[in-house]
Amino acid sequence: MNDQASSLRSRKYSRPTPQEDGLPRARRIAITSGKGGVGKSNVSLNLAIALGRMGKNVLLVDADTNLANIDILLGLRVDLTLGDVIFNNAFLNDVLIPGPEGITILPGSSGMVEMLEKDDAYRQRLMDTFETLEKEFDVLIIDTGAGLSENVVRLVAASDEALLVTNSEPTAITDAYAMVKVVTHINPNQKVHVVINLARKQQDALATFENLQLAARQFLQRELTMLGHMPYDKNVPLAVEKREPFLLMFPRSGASTAITMMARKLLRISYKQSSTDNFLSQVLDKREDE
Ligand SMILES: Nc1ncnc2c1ncn2[C@@H]1O[C@H](COP(=O)(O)OP(=O)(O)OP(=O)(O)O)[C@@H](O)[C@H]1O
Ligand SMILES: [Mg+2]
């Protein structure tokens, strides 16, 4: 068991003491896309592991509503989820699952935004839970569901940075642009890093990024950053089938090299916390109609 999880498990959850309030908060990175099935969960999991390897305390928050959840990608058995902490008095420490390279997984968090709409006591418990988590970890990687549903958009807009995964197909690019547009509307200063997946060649990935960048500049006055590209790699579905992260199973594969480079680049990029407020209070603030 990794140190992070054991430290969290060893004590019962309690509200942070005022002395802890001076602690820096985690860097919040939401992994998103417009179109589904473009590789978000695989990027989330393997990027989290790569960052863990580079010495970061990473919490991977599984807020994806689809079937290929992080726990499935890792072959984990999930008995308790965030909902059990909020509604059934389970301890947070019993919900967190230790993962490879010291990362920790918060499974089954897809209903987070709906939980925020519940009555005050539940909302407070959820806020307090995130307050604790954000002080314990260096980085939160939040794997969101696909699409532009309000809940997904709010999670993305509340993060310090969005990591937008797309492939080069026109449908995926159009949906990726739509995501940038909606998020820009709510949080105009948020950094958006783009990952082009299933790229045949580097030039193709750059061309796709430039198209997206051109549209964002022209219509939204937004600059995007290119974080990297990942080739089509037959080892990715093989690793998925074996319920193992490809970074561990095929460390020399093209996908693994790409993810490692992206993790290094991410750590070189300076970032500014959008707010020192609790992540979920940011989510509450980020309604599209505001
Ligand atoms: N670089 C790649 N090379 C080959 N296959 C890939 C690559 N990236 C992703 N895939 C495959 O694409 C499928 C979808 O990946 P993944 O589940 O990560 O996407 P997602 O965006 O999280 O999907 P959803 O929107 O349903 O949550 C997986 O079966 C995976 O094996
Ligand atoms: Mg997914």
Q: What is the block-wise mean pLDDT of the chain (290 residues), using blocks of 10 residues?
A: 43 38 80 93 97 96 78 88 87 92 88 77 83 91 87 86 95 95 91 96 95 96 96 97 97 98 92 70 67
Tell which one of 31, 33, 35, 38 to mutate to probe ligand 1, the residue whose CB is within 8 A of the most ligand atoms.
Answer: 38
Report pTM: 0.89
**165 CA: nearest ligand 1 atom:** 21
> How far is the centre of ligand 1, averaged over its atoms, from the C-alpha of 195 (Å)?
13
Q: Please report the pLDDT score of residue 181 as a whole number.
A: 95
Exposed/middle/buried for 242, CB within 10 Å: 0-12, 13-18, 19+? exposed
Q: Please report the pLDDT score of residue 8 as a whole number.
A: 42
Q: How far is CA 135 from CA 58, 63, 81, 223, in A?
A: 11, 19, 20, 30
The residues spanned by each domain of the chain are 23-272
Q: How far is CA 109 from CA 59, 66, 142, in A?
A: 12, 12, 10
**147 CA: nearest ligand 1 atom:** 25
Q: Please report the pLDDT score of residue 287 as a whole number.
A: 65
Pairing label, strands 139-144, 58-63: parallel
CA distance between the termini of the chain: 43
Q: Which fold has domain 23-272?
A: Rossmann fold (3.40.50)
Tell me the backbone φ, ψ of residue 143, rounded to 5 degrees. -85, 110
- In angstroms, the CA 99 to CA 120 distance is 32
Question: Does the beta carbon of 237 sit less than 6 angstroms from any atom of ligand 1?
Answer: yes
Q: Angle CA(165)–CA(171)–CA(173) in degrees, nearest 5? A: 40
**33 CA: nearest ligand 1 atom:** 21
